[in-house]
Amino acid sequence: MTALMGARDRGADRARLIDFFAEYGFVVFFVIWVIYLSIATDTFLTERNLLLLLRQASIYGIPAIGATFVILLGELDISFGSVIGLAGVAGAEVLVAGGSGEAAIAAAIGVGLVVGAINGFLVTVLRIPSVVATLGMLSIVLGIGIVYTGGTAIHGPALDPIDWLAQGYVGPIPVPVVILFAGYSIGWFILNRTRFGMHVYLTGDNREAAFRAGIAVDRIRVVVFIIAGALAGLGGIILVSRVSQAQATFGADALFPVLTAVILGGAGLQGGRGRIENTLIASIFLASLLNGIILLGVDAQYQRIVLGAILIAAVSLDRFRS
């Protein structure tokens, strides 16, 4: 009997260990990576580099908040890359026309809201699978942006009113970093302390059961797609502020880092499982990888290889968790 109980305890310990590494293995690797960079470089742990790293994390970390909500529903939104580009163009056009920085930000977020609402309509009313609907919107939104701008960039002094959005500070902290942590704090509160957040998890876990329990499933899905679109729009105008120009194709590289951060953070592709704080950690981790590659003098072209490998590893971890 004692031997049997000992075997059960060892089996339980092994299961807990496996669960831990499946959920937080990337955090362990993150810590090891930080220690290595701290030893291998003289600049990684400097205040200037750490703030730069967090700025980099904010560019795609903010849209990743909305992407986390969508994946928690068991859906997939891959249109946000084009939304980032078109929203940035819309905000820049408002500034060129003489509008204020606040109007430009509102325009960018408004573009995201509209695209998100259309995505929600396609998924809930027309019953198109979300990956197909948002793939179509990815192409449509990108095409609209390219046609509107003629494939050229918008730049110049007219964009100066939004310089503070990416280059300003709140005390010693850059504004985009403040927005990043504020966004995740609000997202955490919504998902963990509100009825809406509970309904998001329940809908993602079992849509039919949630519907039978009286949850307005389709309304939840539409609202989540709108949230995702709005956050992509905000990310777009922050990106314009950071690079001082707007172009419809600017969000083309967003798909990999955003989805990788969400999946690596533990949000299950089947829905109903995941923690938004882990998406934040994963976003910073990915930014530290690219930052470290540069500090180590590795060719920047290897960034795509690294991101692709991490995405595959993240999906593998998700299957392992399941």
Calpha distance 271→202 (Å, rounded): 9
Determine contact, residues 231/112, Cβ cutoff 8 Å.
yes
Calpha distance 232→61 (Å, rounded): 10
Which DSSP state fits 160?
G
Calpha distance 201→197 (Å, rounded): 7
Note if the pTM is more than 0.85. Answer: yes
Calpha distance 74→205 (Å, rounded): 8
pLDDT digits (tens, 9 = 90+) for 257-310: 898 889 888 888 788 888 999 999 999 998 998 888 888 887 767 777 777 787
Phi, psi of 169 (to 5 degrees): -135, 145
Banded model confidence at residue 319, pLDDT cuts 50, 70, 90:
low
Determine contact, residues 286/57, Cβ cutoff 8 Å.
yes
What is the residue type of 109? I
Calpha distance 294→271 (Å, rounded): 35
CA-nearest of 164, 151, 158, 177 to 54 is 177
Which DSSP state fits 169?
E
Residue-wise over 9-28: b if at least 16 C-beta within 10 A, else e? eeeeeeeeeeeeeebebbbe
Which residues lie below 8 Å from residue 127, measured CB to CB, with a gap of 6+? none
Banded model confidence at residue 18, pLDDT cuts 50, 70, 90:
low
Over residues 186-195, mean pLDDT: 97
Write down the residue that tokens 């986390």 correspond to: 68
Please spell the DSSP secondary structure of 32-45, one letter per residue.
Answer: HHHHHHHHH-SSTT
pLDDT digits (tens, 9 = 90+) for 110-150: 999 999 999 999 999 999 999 999 999 999 999 999 999 99
Task: Name the β-bridge partners of 246.
Answer: 154
Assign residue 85 a region (left: φ > 0; alpha: ψ between -120 and 50; beta: otherwise). Answer: alpha
Calpha distance 179→141 (Å, rounded): 25
Calpha distance 26→34 (Å, rounded): 12
Calpha distance 291→85 (Å, rounded): 23
Determine contact, residues 250/88, Cβ cutoff 8 Å.
yes
Angle at the Cα of 267 from the Cα atoms of 309 and 87, rounded to 5 degrees: 80
Calpha distance 3→86 (Å, rounded): 65
Lowest mean pLDDT segment, chosen from 19-23, 47-51, 132-136: 19-23
| The token pair that represents 13 in the structure block | 């310990």
Lowest mean pLDDT segment, chosen from 11-20, 238-247, 254-263, 272-281: 11-20
Which residues lie below 8 Å from residue 90, measured CB to CB, with a gap of 6+? 107, 108, 110, 111
Residue 222: per-residue pLDDT: 97
